[in-house]
Structure 1
Amino acid sequence: MNRASRPSTTTRSAMLLLSGLLLLPSSILAEPLSEGSSLGHEYQVEAVASGFGTPWGMAFISDTKMVITGRAGQLWLLNTESGESSELSGLPGDIATRGQGGLLDVQTSPSFGSDRTLYFTYSKAVDGGAATTLARAVLSENSDQLTGWEDLLVTDSASNAGQHFGSRVTFDHEGYVYFGVGDRGDRDNGQDFSNHASSIMRLHLDGRVPDDNPFVDDANIPDEIWSLGHRNPQGLAYDLERHRLWEIEHGPRGGDEINVIEAGENYGWPVVSHGREYWGPVDVGEAESLPGYVDPVKVYVPSIAPGSLLVYRGDAFPDWQGHLFAGALVLTHLNHIAVNAQGEIGEEDRLLEDLGERIRAVAEDNRGHLYLSTDSGRILRVSPPN
């Protein structure tokens, strides 16, 4: 290049600046997919990454890195700033990927910073079909593999049916772990207390049964059970500030429920339901409320088909603190439910309906930004407008 054709200093500076910008993560430069406001705050939605099959669960292991489960039996590490991802090794070989089953939820242990332990639920191939299972494993220091995979409870819920496995994982303020199992497509399991189906379990972190579980002295009910009568718990979240266990579950053609879970209580499925039969306009169950069964605090008719539940505690959206967020599958939105200072359910808002995405999981980073996984394989971020 001769001197006459060489770019000027100003031009070269502009070119360097442009090339530097082009190396920035695409999520920074991309236009928001959606914008809006909800219960006191404006927000924007960006695409962070894609190509994750059916990303079922998400858990942050650092400020900018999360692990993501794929229902078909994959585990990924995603950098939420750069959008780069890699697949991790160390999963068991007996994940039953059938129907709604596969590798399900993932959560970091309460002491992840020191023990690097991840908790999982998955459908395990067993005699009699597949059974929802709680497991844990250690994430290597360089976050590229799992070691020491350990099944903590293979539930007595085996079936050849491909639906209603549950299952989410959460931890309370005392260090207990909770997870749920659905009725496995058999309504009779709802009030058959001889197995783990249609129930939520409570365990020590190592899988032992706590001495104060509600049914440890009842020979007819498994000791691990904390609550009964759940159709298909797809969201489970513990509010560490209010010491409250929230659950959201699918109803049949109407009658999705949000429940406050208490020890030893029966939530009624299928005797009590707000749903309708799939084959006609006929009520399911005997009534919408009956003595001896706990009523939901919120019911959705028609069904939204919830996929998850999160208690928001971030600083990015202060007015949302203590509120609930649930991914909606059939009605394709992010469900936002206000919760007042007394812990009572309030106004509901439906976000991101314009995207038409089946929203599966919801997670929160250290800034209070929300991350959503969709059944189309995308990871989205909800944050305050730039």
Structure 2
Amino acid sequence: MTFKTPVTLCTLASSLLGFCSTGFAYQLESVATGLSVPWSIEFVNNHTALVSQRNGAIVELDVHSGKFTPLFKPTDVYAKGQGGLLDLAFHPQNKSRLFITYSQRSHLGATTTLAKATYTQGKISNFSPLFTSSSYSDTSRHFGSRIVFDDNNMLYFSIGDRGIRDNGQDLSTHAGSILRINIDGSTPTDNPFIKNNNALAEIWSYGHRNPQGLTFDHHSQQLWAIEHGPRGGDEINLIVKGHNYGWAETSHGKEYWGPIKVGDSEYKKGVTAPQLVYTPSIAPSSLILYRGNRYPALNGKLLAGALKLTHINVVGFNNGQLVEEQRLFEDLNERIRDIQISPDDYLYITTDSGKVMRLLP
């Protein structure tokens, strides 16, 4: 089955194919159905992927047949609200080393935890927490949490403010931050707050509300994040070592209960401004920077999944500034949870309704 996306300013012949952009048309092909909020898809090779389901289970998916096989389910996953089994990421040079973020339950409440595991021959073993954050809360909101690696194999992962606004400016908690650690769980000696006794050493940047998209561009050596604002004010941020991104002192959004802006202002001295703001919100869920040959019109662009407005958001660069260019598959009516690139350069998406789909050029 294929799904078409609406077009504007295209010829009739082009619009029959789907989305029209500089001569290219795209369709979505169904790969698998029946999953339970597939939060992350991570590829083993061209035909096999691992998928995390928010209910706490990891499955292995054959992307050619659509068959998925249950592999593993941790026993301490807090699968409530926005919590559950979250992101998956393989070590960049070793597909047997798997990293997993999830909301972990404990007597202190729930927190975002990074775990490690071994994946070999269709089995997951040696699962154990590698780093447990201090973002404990009795709320079921704003866990983050995406994983990326830079060229030095440093691991970054994001944590939301856990529904407590003051956490964004509090360096004594991991909540509301993007963390940077070594792959053995230790803290890099060049982290920005390593010598600050009033801050947690793992924090790389802070002042975040709920960054659910994170991508490292190996071409430009830049780290990008996309995060949920309140009512309006979703942000794409260029993440820089030690910078404060403002939440909740600055925001472009409004209170849920009325037409009153959140925070003191939209901009403030000492706060790094977002590169792009979405008002109204699109409810971003994931972020990648696509660099490949299969979709030439998307090469070098940021792609974000949208939950509330159910589309793929395409963002380009114009003289160093981010510009929203297109919204793909708005008629799909699916909350897009993750976007990932396979080893053979296909774009895949997952949806909250339990689907995995492949983008056809």
TM-score exceeds 0.5: yes
Number of equivalences: 349
Displacement after TM superposition at 1:209 (Å): 0.4
Residues 1:52 and 2:28 aligned together: no
Change beyond 3 A, Cα 1:314–1:132: same
Q: Confirm or deny that 1:99 pairs with 2:81.
A: yes
For residues 98 and 347 of structure 1, the distance between their equivalents in structure 2, rounded to whole angstroms, comes to: 33
- Residue 40 of structure 1 and its aligned partner are, at CA, apart by 5.6
Contact 2:41 / 2:51 at 8 angstroms: preserved in 1? Answer: yes
What is the match of residue 149 of structure 2?
171
Contact 1:127 1:158 in 2 (8 A): no
| Partner Cα separation in structure 2 for residue 38 and residue 380 of structure 1 | 20
Letter matched to residue 236 of structure 1:
L
Residue in structure 1 matched with residue 343 of structure 2 by the alignment = 366
Aligned partner of 1:86 in structure 2 is 69
Percent identity of equivalent pairs: 47
Identify the residue that residue 111 of structure 2 maps to in structure 1: 131
User: Does 1:381 find its partner at 2:358?
Assistant: yes
Which residue, 184, 187, 197 being the options, matches 2:165? 187
Q: Retained in 2: the 8 A contact 1:33–1:47?
A: no
Equivalent residue for 1:337, pick from 277, 292, 315: 315
Q: Which runs of 4+ in 1 moved over 4 A?
A: 31-34
Distance 1:268 1:317 in 2: 35
Query: Distance between the aligned counterparts of 2:48 and 2:20, measured in 1?
Result: 27
Which residue does the alignment assign to 1:26? none
Q: Which residue does the alignment assign to 1:10?
A: none
Cα pair distance change 1:207/1:121, threshold 3 Å: same
Indicate if the aligned counterparts of 1:314 and 1:364 stay in contact, CA closer than 8 A. no
Contact 1:181 1:200 in 2 (8 A): yes
> Is the 1:38–1:351 contact (alpha carbons within 8 Å) kept by the matching residues of 2?
no
Whether the aligned pair in 2 keeps the contact of 1:33 and 1:46 (CA below 8 Å) is no
Q: Which of 109, 112, 119 is matched with 2:99 structurally?
A: 119
Determine which structure has the larger strand proportion and give its number: 2
RMSD: 1.3
TM-score calculated relative to the size of structure 1: 0.88
Structure 1 unpaired stretches of 5+: 1-29
Structure 2 residues not aligned, in runs of 5+: 6-17
Residue 33 of structure 1 deviates from its aligned partner by: 4.8
> Which aligned pairs between 1:280-295 and structure 2 lie closer than 5 A?
280-295=258-273
Distance 1:325 1:40 in 2: 19
CA contact under 8 A between 1:52 and 1:377: conserved in structure 2?
yes
- AA aligned to 1:108 is F
Equivalent residue of 1:188, what SS? helix
Which has the higher Rg, Structure 1 or Structure 2? 1
Amino acid at match of 1:37: C
How far apart in 1 are the matches of 2:320 and 2:152? Answer: 20
1:320 CA drift (Å): 1.8
Match of 2:238 in 1: 260
Change over 3 Å in CA distance of 1:209–1:352 after alignment to 2: same
Q: Does residue 201 in structure 1 map to residue 184 in structure 2?
A: no
Deviation at 1:137, TM superposition (A): 0.6
Instruction: Flag the structure with higher helix content.
Output: 1
Q: Which amino acid aligns with 2:227?
A: E
Task: State the 1:369 CA deviation.
Answer: 1.6
Q: Deviations over 1:139-181 (max 9, x none)?
A: 02x21x2111121210001111000000000000111000011
Inter-CA distance 165–31: structure 2 relative to 1 (3 Å threshold): closer
- Shift of the alpha carbon at 1:338? 1.3
Tell me, yes or no, if the aligned pair for 2:2 and 2:28 is still in contact at 8 Å: no
Separation of aligned partners in 2, 1:330 and 1:38: 24
SS at match of 1:308: strand
**Who is 2:293 aligned against?**
315
Aligned residue in 2 for 1:356? 333
Distance 1:118 1:59 in 2: 10
Partner deviation per Cα, 1:287-314 (whole Å, 9 max, x = no partner)? 1101100000000000000000011012
Asked whether the equivalents of residues 364 and 370 of structure 1 are also in contact (C-alpha less than 8 Å), the reply is yes
